[in-house]
Amino acid sequence: MKLTRLILLLVFAACGIAFVALNTESVTIDLYFHAYTLSLGLSLLLTLFIGAVLGGLAVALGSLPATRRRVLAARTQARVEAETELLGHATVPSPSAPRSRAVSESGRA
């Protein structure tokens, strides 16, 4: 698996280098406060990289509420299990279970 990833990384790196080498025309990117002059290939790869980072950030932030809900549910479950263990596995009797009669001070039921 690691070898496959390494091979894919090398193939994509070679394609990126070839792309930059074949697109050497200069383009100017004007950001209002500063203008940058880069080769066309480099500017396109830079744009692709920035888009991938922003897309990954959007996905990560979008899944944050669901992750938070799972963490809170796990904490609640752990707290309930800890309280049950501390109370000696005490359970709440169900309404259909027969009730034992309380014994009075005289010993009668």
Flag whether pLDDT at 60 surpasses 90: no
Structure tokens belonging to residue 68: 């938070």
Query: Does residue 27 contact residue 40 with C-beta atoms inside 8 Å?
Result: yes
In a domain, 75, yes or no: yes
For residue 1, name the pLDDT band (cuts at 50, 70, 90). Answer: confident
Question: What element of type H or E holds 26?
Answer: strand 26-30
Q: Tens digits of per-residue pLDDT, 68-102?
A: 888 888 888 888 888 887 777 655 555 665 655 55
In a domain, 107, yes or no: no
From CA 90, how far away is CA 105, in angstroms rounded? 25
73 within a domain of the structure (yes/no):
yes
Instruction: Provide the whole-model pTM.
Output: 0.54
Question: Which pLDDT value is given to residue 64?
Answer: 79
Structural domain total, the chain: 1
CA distance 39 to 43: 6
Taking the C-alpha atoms of residue 37 and residue 80, their distance in angstroms, rounded to an integer, is 61
**CA gap 34, 36 in Å, rounded:** 7
Domain that holds residue 48: 44-88
Could you give the percent of the chain with pLDDT greater than 90? 19
Within a domain: 52: yes
